[in-house]
């Protein structure tokens, strides 16, 4: 079975982990946490980094640090992971959806202005599967309507928009370091910003809002969302290799494209002129005319020894949100199509060329039966 993802972990990760253990420095108070925050924020082009336990926690803290309140509206893509809407809802705010673009699968920025109301306080662009969103349009709209921008770059480590790193735009940005990300800490995330006040606010919130002058004295409720020194050690070792990892991702995508580009029944990922995608996951969307769902296609591939993952289910179709009476009678046709007919192929950093060839052959065979 060719796995959908497998990270590259080596001797450097072991070395730093052993150092943590030898020094008995395994909590969030370790020096590796501070160094990881500093080095990663510098890599992206931000002034401040706040490491946390996962990407979802990063989103929640980012929204809280910006001061969003119950009833505030946040515009985000219908096509994304549930963490984005969850973070908004947890604060009592209201997620407002826009549909996806057919080719990039990112939020359709041309639909944003029509969704803005007096309650709108922020826009949350998400760089889907490693391809940048059109950030100039986002930033122009945010400036026009005085809205915050929370940039979700969880899937876009090292991706670039017009030569600038994803995660360097807007008021605040977030990353995830889950096991399938380009830089991984197993679990983990980070908030980045150029605003010192926001960074300090996020640091306080992640650590139970401890009072710096009197410990165990709390004036408000915070979260226990800290990253451990062990995680940060792995992250630092990974960050040293990020440019090589990005090269691997882009080369793998180029190889897949060369092997599959003649298939008229399958839509492959695009890369806009102004974008440098990292092709975090190599997704494909089946042509509707095939009459073949992504679920059935995935089963066919599995029987041929290929593991896949379905595309995100649109936020408006999530059963939990339907129970909450959210997004009632809303329809996002592009999101629905790519959710029904899209899946991603094995895309991990450790995948070998012969495995990509095998996957591509299996795709061809599975289109027939």
Fold of the domain spanning 11-100+108-239? 3.40.640
CA distances from 347 to 225, 237, 312, 355 (A): 29, 21, 16, 10
Per-residue pLDDT, averaged over 95-102, amounts to: 98
Judged against a pLDDT cut of 90, whether residue 363 lies above it is answered with: yes
Class of domain 242-368: alpha beta
| Percent of the chain whose predicted confidence (pLDDT) is above 70 | 100
Measure the CA–CA gap between 33 and 14, rounded to whole angstroms: 16
Percent of the chain with pLDDT over 90: 98
The answer to whether the beta carbons of residues 8 and 349 sit under 8 Å apart is yes
Q: Is residue 42 over pLDDT 90?
A: yes
What is the predicted pLDDT for the residue at 213? 87
Segment 46-63 mean pLDDT: 98
Q: pLDDT tens digits for 242-255?
A: 999 999 999 999 99
Q: pLDDT of 270-285, one tens digit each?
A: 999 999 999 999 999 9
Task: Quote the mean pLDDT of the chain.
Answer: 97
pLDDT at residue 330 in the model: 97
Angle at 111 between CA 105 and CA 115, to 5 degrees: 125
- Say yes or no to pLDDT of 215 above 90: no
What region does 167 belong to: left with phi over 0, alpha with psi -120 to 50, or beta?
A: left
329-362: pLDDT as tens digits:
999 999 999 999 999 999 999 999 999 999 999 9
Domain range annotation of the chain? 11-100+108-239, 242-368
Regarding beta strands 148-152 and 120-123, do their DSSP bridges make them parallel or antiparallel, or are they unpaired? Answer: parallel
Each residue's pLDDT tens digit, 188-214 = 999 999 999 999 999 999 999 998 889
* Element housing 49 (H / E): strand 48-52
Categorize the per-residue pLDDT at 222 as very low, low, confident or very high, splitting at 50, 70 and 90: very high
pTM summary value: 0.96
Q: How far is CA 51 from CA 83, 226, 333, in A?
A: 17, 7, 37
* pLDDT one-digit tens code per residue, 110-119: 999 999 999 9
In the block, tokens 């992206």 appear at 44
| pLDDT at position 28 | 93
The tens digit of pLDDT for each residue in 126-184 reads 999 999 999 999 999 999 999 999 999 999 999 999 999 999 999 999 999 999 999 99
């Amino acid at each position: 079975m060719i796995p959908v993802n497998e990270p590259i972990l080596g001797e450097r990760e072991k070395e730093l982990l052993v150092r943590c253990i030898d020094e008995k420095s395994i909590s969030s108070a370790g020096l590796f946490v501070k160094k990881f925050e500093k080095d990663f924020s510098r890599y992206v082009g931000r002034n401040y980094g706040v490491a946390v336990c996962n990407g979802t926690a990063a989103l929640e803290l980012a929204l809280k640090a910006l001061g969003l309140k119950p009833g505030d509206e946040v515009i985000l893509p219908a096509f994304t992971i549930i963490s984005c809407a969850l973070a908004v809802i947890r604060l009592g705010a209201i997620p407002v959806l826009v549909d996806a673009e057919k080719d990039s699968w990112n939020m359709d920025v041309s639909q944003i202005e029509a969704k803005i109301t007096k309650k709108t306080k922020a826009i949350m662009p998400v760089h889907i599967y490693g391809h940048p969103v059109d950030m100039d349009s986002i930033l122009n709209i945010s400036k026009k309507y005085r809205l915050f921008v929370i940039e979700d770059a969880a899937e876009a480590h090292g991706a670039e928009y017009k030569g600038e790193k994803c995660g360097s735009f807007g008021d605040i940005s977030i990353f995830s370091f889950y096991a399938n990300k380009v830089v991984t800490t197993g679990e983990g995330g980070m908030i980045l910003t150029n605003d010192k006040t926001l960074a300090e606010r996020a640091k306080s919130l992640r650590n139970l809002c401890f009072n710096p002058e009197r410990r165990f004295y709390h004036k408000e409720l915070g979260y226990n969302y800290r990253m451990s020194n062990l995680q940060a050690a792995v992250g630092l070792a990974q960050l040293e290799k990020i440019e090589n990892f990005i090269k691997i991702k882009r080369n793998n995508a180029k190889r897949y494209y060369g092997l599959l580009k003649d298939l008229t029944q399958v839509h492959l990922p695009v890369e806009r002129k102004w974008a440098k995608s990292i092709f975090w996951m190599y997704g494909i969307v089946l042509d509707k005319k095939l009459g073949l769902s992504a679920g059935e296609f995935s089963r066919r591939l599995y029987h041929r020894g290929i593991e896949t993952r379905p595309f995100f289910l649109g936020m408006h179709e999530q059963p939990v949100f339907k129970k909450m009476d959210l997004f009632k009678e809303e329809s996002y046709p592009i999101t629905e199509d790519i959710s029904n007919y899209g899946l991603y192929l094995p895309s991990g950093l450790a995948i070998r060329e012969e495995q990509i060839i095998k996957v591509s052959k299996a795709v061809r065979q599975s289109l027939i039966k």
